[in-house]
Structure 1
Amino acid sequence: MKSERLSFVAAIAALCLAGPAYGADLFHSEQLTPRGEYTSGIEGPATSRSGSLYVVNFRRSGTIGKVPPGKTSSRLFAILPQGSIGNGIRFGVDGRMYVADYNDHNVFVFGRGKARPKVYFHSPLFNQPNDLAMAHDGTIYASDPDFRAQSGRIWKIRRSADGVVSGSPMQSDRAMGETNGIDLSPDESTLYVSESDTRQIWAYQIVGDELKFPRLVISFAQYELDGLRIDVAGRLFVARPGNGSVALVAADGTLVREITLLGRDPTNLTFGGPDGKTIFVTQKDGGFIETFKVDISGREPCLQRRQACWRKLGLLEYPARARGRRN
């Protein structure tokens, strides 16, 4: 089984590489937007199928900014309801945008082309929904840290065939630390979670509503961990606030490289660009967005844009409902 999984990952990497594996312009970060556009709560980020980038807390808390494709500055996209403050953002394959509201314990949804949010899921049992991971069938996984208790958990949120949305904490074989960054493996069988306080990334196999067989992927000696994203080869990119870098980690836990950033405190990151090989990083240090190119496309752009790529990930047929209007 292990050899088959490694062969699968290698095949996906080969399919998604274009041109030379490494070039002079890869992994070199440059500033995209002006400093000071966002508050110290800058987070999110996520790109739509059309290539627009969305980031929370533009100019003030409780807002969402938008950077259209090819632009180098943000504009106001939406204002959340009074008291709500956004954190992680993800897009579903149907083009709808989901935003974690850590202050009022909501997950909002924005319809395609809409700037007014609706409550998709709410629970007073949340500690504070932090970051999100989206499966191809619309299932949402939400990290839910309790920073005071230095603990955390993961919620599974889904919509039934009759339209009812429900969610609950997933059971785990391991007591978690401060759950923060979160993403799925390319075949969606494994959930990866970064923990701020332990400075570790853990992998869990998803078995129904349980997270089974916890595996320590990597542990860092210093500096917290924050947002996390995965490419189609199964490699992890994790923000390291305080270290001024994004760590690139192989699925087996090997530290491939540290990508040096312009700012010291990255909070999160996402894949985007025409080929899904551009990473956008939100910087608390200066309130701006920086960006760099990589050699393999991200998992989420693959899900959003490429029917053939989705099937090659070992997922089900690309649904007709995902071929709607672009944001």
Structure 2
Amino acid sequence: MKRLWGSNGIAFGPDGRLYVAQFLAGQISAVDVATGDVEVVVPQGGPVQSPDDLAFGSDGSMYITDLVPGWVWRRSPAGEYSLVSDQVAVPNGIATVGDRLFVNEMKLDGRVLELFPDGGDPRVLADGLMMGNAMQLGPDGCLYYPHMLTGQVFRVPLDGGAPELVAENVHEPVAVRFDRGGVLMVLSRGDAGFVTRIDLAGGERTIVRSGVLGLDNAAFDNENRMFVSSFASGGIAELHPDGRTRQIVAQSRVGPYGVAVSGGRVHVADHYTLVNGDKREMFVFVHGVAAADGFLHTASQYGDVRTYDLADGSVRMRASGLNRPVGLAVREDGVLVVAEAGAGRVVAVDGDDAVTVLAEGLACPVDVAFDGDTGYVSDEERGAVLRLDDGSPVVEGLSAPQGLAIRDGEVLVVETGERRLLAINPPTGETRVEADNLAVGLPPGVTRTDPALFTHGMPGVPRPFAGLAVEPDGTLHICANAEGGVLRLSPVDGRQTSGSVVDEG
């Protein structure tokens, strides 16, 4: 079964397929809504880095907002790319009206702009946006767009004029769409999946709860069927007027990144959400996760380390201001140990939330693991697994080692550059391949520029991280971040393993 590995902006193309921008995956796919078949049409490794929304021009050209670098692209019907603009900060929402092209900015004090593919400076239609997003032309000839942070929807005439407030107190608006009958639909990005229908003439509202976590965008086909995407859970669903959904493309993880196992449940850090068994909750750019004694410990792209109580759902801040913390582990004495990749350090967070440095001067530490008192760290850029106490190498010459775990005295590491799992004997450095051809890291031959962590205050595209966890019986769980799932490797004939995808969304 093909999955989308995250889904953001969507629009029907001239061929009748639904085109899906995949921000974290760095690609665009086309979906046949009748069959659910998925085809990648804008692959990774090309000029487009982080597509967030798209629209089609009258000649069949695809226009794409490339959020992190701040570019807007035109892809011709022949598949040729040209840069429309590099003068838009955090471009997100995009709309076409005949041969005219409009985009907005997803930032504080953002703008709505008209762009000119054949040349010319952008024209400002409106400013002061509190984070714009998906927008569309209304039946009255005005452009409608949300202010995500203020719960408002505005409209502005295409040829200029003061923006007009259309609706306020809308729950977390992320996209403004009109159905084929001209009814205004506002999607909410929260965990309830609200869609608010607004009668523009009388102002009456009807709210439908879809249950789709993290709605992102919507598109209507010629039969007025509504299809929605989700930045938090991926997939494509048909949303009926009463809130019922029919999954067209199955949901999946948008990473995933870190993984932990406790009490027979798999816990997954999936950038926008924290997954606890069959329960998924919105979290803030979570990448690392560790489990112990009824608690989950997480590390986020924002530099936070938090502890989540599984019993009562409370969350406690443990540390903040770290530079790209990724993997973390719980030491035998209960201290949290965190790989701080951006600072080249490994730090400890004690029971009083005091942070101390255990190791520094590393190139890019991404995960840690403990065998009793002995700690290990994987250094992705150095290509090594190191002892934490003295920095001496256990093994070197690896290609992008990431997730670490301990099993029966051996150190297990996901070598993402070679797409395999290795078992290392620490005293001798002897290495054995446990599994290969894993769906981790980028596809062979594909490279992506490592963007700035934040752009205009917004998170960039995170570097992939393939977390690893081990159960007491030796079963392994690996974040298969090249396909949006978690792979389970069960012991067979001693050390050899057989695999199956057990967590797809």
Scaled by the length of structure 1, what TM-score is found? Answer: 0.66
- Of residues 220, 235, 243, the one that matches 2:183 is 235
**2:5 matched residue in structure 1:** 38
- Cα distance in 2 between the residues matched to 1:71 and 1:262: 23
Distance 1:76 1:68, change over 3 A: same
- Of residues 155, 158, 167, the one that matches 2:116 is 158
- Cα distance in 2 between the residues matched to 1:108 and 1:267: 21
Amino acid at match of 1:166: G
- 1:250 and 2:215 matched: no
- Of residues 78, 82, 94, the one that matches 1:119 is 82
Q: Deviations over 1:194-247 (max 9, x none)?
A: 01101100122233xx3x2322111126x4211221235432112101131222
- 1:77 and 2:41 matched: yes
- Of residues 143, 160, 173, the one that matches 1:225 is 173
Amino acid at match of 1:158: F
Offset at residue 186 of structure 1 (A): 2.6
Q: How does 1:150-299 map to 2 (within 5 A)?
A: 150-159=108-117, 164-172=118-126, 175-188=128-141, 190-207=142-159, 210=160, 212-220=161-169, 223-242=171-190, 243-252=192-201, 254-272=203-221, 275-293=222-240
Q: Is the 8 A contact 2:195 2:208 kept in 1?
A: yes
The aligned length equals: 240
- Of residues 29, 36, 48, the one that matches 2:13 is 48
Distance 1:263 1:217, change over 3 A: same
Runs of 5+ unmatched residues, structure 2 = 243-505
Runs of 5+ unmatched residues, structure 1 = 1-32, 296-327
- Cα distance in 2 between the residues matched to 1:90 and 1:294: 24
Larger relative strand fraction: 2
**2:55 matched residue in structure 1:** 90
**2:25 matched residue in structure 1:** 61
Offset at residue 87 of structure 1 (A): 0.9
Calculate percent identity across the aligned residue pairs: 21
Q: Is the 8 A contact 2:184 2:197 kept in 1?
A: yes
Amino acid at match of 1:68: D
Offset at residue 269 of structure 1 (A): 0.9
Larger relative helix fraction: 1
Distance 1:171 1:55, change over 3 A: closer
Q: Is the 8 A contact 2:175 2:216 kept in 1?
A: yes
Offset at residue 264 of structure 1 (A): 1.9
Distance 1:167 1:46, change over 3 A: farther
- Cα distance in 2 between the residues matched to 1:246 and 1:229: 10
Q: Is the 8 A contact 1:193 1:203 kept in 2?
A: yes
Q: Is the 8 A contact 1:87 1:100 kept in 2?
A: yes
- Cα distance in 2 between the residues matched to 1:269 and 1:253: 24
Offset at residue 165 of structure 1 (A): 2.7
- Cα distance in 2 between the residues matched to 1:119 and 1:260: 40
Amino acid at match of 1:142: V
- Cα distance in 1 between the residues matched to 2:115 and 2:73: 12
- Of residues 131, 147, 150, the one that matches 2:93 is 131
Q: Is the 8 A contact 2:146 2:174 kept in 1?
A: yes
Q: Is the 8 A contact 2:132 2:147 kept in 1?
A: yes
Q: Is the 8 A contact 1:236 1:251 kept in 2?
A: yes
Offset at residue 134 of structure 1 (A): 0.7
Higher relative contact order (CA 8 A, sep 6+): 1
Scaled by the length of structure 2, what TM-score is found? Answer: 0.44
- Cα distance in 2 between the residues matched to 1:259 and 1:86: 28
